[in-house]
Amino acid sequence: MPIRVLSPQVASKIAAGEVVERPASVAKELIENAIDAGATEIRVEIRQGGRRLIRVSDNGCGIAAQEATLAFARHATSKITDEADLSHITTLGFRGEALASIAAVSHVTLTSRARGEEAGTLLRLQGGEIVRHEAHGGRTGTTIAVENLFYNTPARLKFLRAEPTEASHIVEMLSAYAMAYPELSLHLIDNGRLVLQTPGNGKLCDVLIKAFDLSVAQQMLEIQVDEPAPADDLAARESQPGHEIPVRVSGYVGGPSLHRASRNYQMLFVNRRWIQDRALSYAVEEAYRTLIPVGRHPVAVLNIRMDPVDVDVNVHPTKREVRFRDPRAVFSAVQRVVRRAVIGQAPVASVASAPTPVLSDEWASRQSYPSPRSAWDMVPNRAQAAMEIQRTADVASPTAQSVPMLERLPMLRVLGQVRQAYVIAEGPDGLYLIDQHAAHERVLYEQLQAEQATMKAPSQALLEPLALEFTPSERSRLDGMMVSLAAFGFDIAPFGGDTYLVRAIPSALKAAQVRAVLAELLEGAGEEADAVPPAQHVLAVIACHSAVRAGQTLTLDEARELIHQLEQTISPYTCPHGRPTMIHLSSLQLEKSFGRR
């Protein structure tokens, strides 16, 4: 489509506001333009954190010579024409404002040649004014160089951070687009140094290796897409009220042993647009609840696909916020798909069917593996474990394809107890050291959860009610929580002053543990009077206090029973706080350690 200036009516419907906040926002707009132009190769060069220079070159369709100046006009775009187009946007850009806004605060040089045109154009602007315009040779595609950003707006220059910080925002942004568009070959050169390069072979896993690092990428699980195909007929869907809109989620998520201190490793895309959405981030984090440590964040790269009519991208000028027509459907699709990938992609009951590889063959075929880990290592999440097996299998037969599911514990034979804290056991592949407290916590937690699900939390009435004292701040929280604690088997009532009477407690607890459990629950609760801790937290606290402790001697039978119960759990490898329940020394590692290999 030719570039045209939008009518004032359409322009007024576009979310207004400043898009050029910092160098990374300039780079983002330029990348989006290159992608919209159908580029397969994009090269980005930055100097001094992008303040001195941001140059983006693409091999896309180019800008027609007679349209070059128009591209820098406000509300000039080739991507939409009327208001109706705003309701189903399929391009990254549509506002027609980026080039105008960027040109107003920098020195811009455009060179471009449109496909099929004899000559291209060179255009130079300073503070939005054209200072040079001439014919120019060169290959098909577009290069836009933005120099001296904010040279004429010192106030905004002042807000920029140190150069490495601004550069890191650009790297993060480019990594995101590389993940959303794995078929795109991207190069980023920062002060003359190549810092990111993607092969453009269409494989997301190869981009993850480049963007995250091999050791991180190897711990990621591919989401197996088996959602129903989206129904195309909008009218048919709308005639069925309450019917969820079709949402498909693809990508990779980290195994439970992969977690980070920040959420920077969570990349969300909607129809390949990089977005920010607190509710969806929460959906991802929720799926990892009890699997990773509190305060840590999972790694995820998710592309959510849906009909463009079901998502409004015209919310915020930076286009990173979107509004879903059915937010609940999107939230639950994300949570469901992530949880399924993390817990296991095939239900365990169906072992009869051929095992699904947890790893795409992609990973397995990658030749370079990280340096061998130390002998005693955490029992890997399934991805690592499967990789380990795949690796061993590769040695035996290079054609080994399928990877067994390792979601349940292997059969373990208990050998004894070490330091009154760890159960030592032998499995089909070497030795296991199991933390008795963490393992028991996991067992109790899942038992409590099952009881909770049937709505009959076993409660024991105390022969002699416990009179407990609470501090004033504890009291206000306890008052707000008392009713909801009843659902877990507590019967607590005020007894006047600082004192409360506890008449019944969850069967899993002993009376002596009640004060500590309540203290921990109250401590975790928010300041608001009616803040109710999530069920998982209450159950985890109860499980933690009633579980066998380190320092307790277990008989061989008791240890066997514990391991037997752990075998029945859904997530045997981590305690409800996300810490490992065991470490594993494989037969291979044993043999290597003794020099037999």
DSSP letter at 312 equals E
Is the CB of 26 or the CB of 423 nearer to Mg ion? 26
Residue 478 three-state SS: helix
Answer for which of 53, 98, 508, 554 binds Mg ion (CB under 5 A) is: 98
Give the CA angle between residues 505, 508, 513 to the nearest 5°: 65
Alpha-helical runs (H) found in 20-110: 23-36, 98-104
Distance (Å, whole) CA 566 – CA 138: 67
Q: Which residues, 207 to 266, sit near Mg ion by CB under 5 A?
A: none
> Residue 357 in contact with residue 405, Cβ under 8 Å?
no
Residue 492 three-state SS: strand
**Selected range binding Mg ion among 15-23, 94-102, 203-211, 240-248, rule: CB under 5 A:** 94-102
Reference 353, options 345, 363, 361, 343; nearest CA is 345
Per CB under 6 A, 142 contacts ligand ADP: yes
Answer for which of 25, 33, 101, 390 binds Mg ion (CB under 5 A) is: 33
Per CB under 5 A, 77 contacts Mg ion: no
Shortest gap between Cβ of 356 and ligand ADP (angstroms)?
41
End-to-end CA distance of the chain: 65
Pairing of strands 459-469, 259-260: unpaired
Q: Which residues contact 359 (CB under 8 A, 6 or more apart)?
A: 221, 222, 383, 386, 387, 390, 403
Longest dimension (CA), the chain: 95
Distance (Å, whole) CA 258 – CA 215: 10
When CB distances to Mg ion are compared, the closest residue is: 93
Is the CB of 97 or the CB of 435 nearer to ligand ADP? 97
Is the CB of 108 or the CB of 221 nearer to ligand ADP? 108
Per CB under 6 A, 544 contacts ligand ADP: no
* Contact of residue 43 among Mg ion, ligand ADP, none (CB under 5-8 Å per partner type): none
Query: Structure tokens of 362?
Result: 């992609």
Distance (Å, whole) CA 27 – CA 173: 8
> Residue 308 in contact with residue 271, Cβ under 8 Å?
yes
Binding-residue pattern over the window 356 to 395 for ligand ADP, x denoting contact by CB under 6 A: ----------------------------------------
Is the CB of 96 or the CB of 576 nearer to ligand ADP? 96
Is the CB of 35 or the CB of 302 nearer to Mg ion? 35
Backbone angles phi, psi at 64, to 5 degrees: -60, 140
Is the CB of 61 or the CB of 566 nearer to ligand ADP? 61
Distance (Å, whole) CA 415 – CA 585: 15
| Residue 6 CB neighbour total at 10 angstroms | 24
Shortest gap between Cβ of 87 and ligand ADP (angstroms)?
16
Answer for which of 93, 254, 317, 489 binds Mg ion (CB under 5 A) is: 93
* Contact of residue 344 among ligand ADP, Mg ion, none (CB under 5-8 Å per partner type): none
Per CB under 5 A, 37 contacts Mg ion: no
Answer for which of 6, 19, 25, 29 binds ligand ADP (CB under 6 A) is: 29
Distance (Å, whole) CA 261 – CA 271: 28
* Contact of residue 71 among ligand ADP, Mg ion, none (CB under 5-8 Å per partner type): ligand ADP
Q: Which residues, 222 to 241, sit near ligand ADP by CB under 6 A?
A: none
Query: Structure tokens of 295?
Result: 């305060």
**Selected range binding Mg ion among 89-97, 279-287, 513-521, 564-572, rule: CB under 5 A:** 89-97
Is the CB of 63 or the CB of 425 nearer to ligand ADP? 63
Q: Which residues contact 355 (CB under 8 A, 6 or more apart)?
A: 346, 402, 403, 404, 405
* Contact of residue 171 among Mg ion, ligand ADP, none (CB under 5-8 Å per partner type): none
Shortest gap between Cβ of 32 and Mg ion (angstroms)?
5
Q: Which residues, 35 to 94, sit near ligand ADP by CB under 6 A?
A: 37, 58, 60-63, 71, 76-79, 93-94
Is the CB of 103 or the CB of 406 nearer to ligand ADP? 103
Number of residues that bind ligand ADP (CB under 6 A): 23
Q: Which residues contact 125 (CB under 8 A, 6 or more apart)?
A: 72, 103, 107, 108, 110, 131
Answer for which of 45, 59, 97, 208 binds ligand ADP (CB under 6 A) is: 97
**Selected range binding Mg ion among 87-95, 111-119, 303-311, 336-344, rule: CB under 5 A:** 87-95
Shortest gap between Cβ of 102 and Mg ion (angstroms)?
10
> Residue 99 in contact with residue 74, Cβ under 8 Å?
no
> Residue 207 in contact with residue 178, Cβ under 8 Å?
yes
Reference 199, options 189, 214, 211, 191; nearest CA is 211
When CB distances to ligand ADP are compared, the closest residue is: 93
Interaction site with Mg ion (CB under 5 A): 33, 93, 98
Interaction site with ligand ADP (CB under 6 A): 3, 29, 33-34, 37, 58, 60-63, 71, 76-79, 93-99, 142
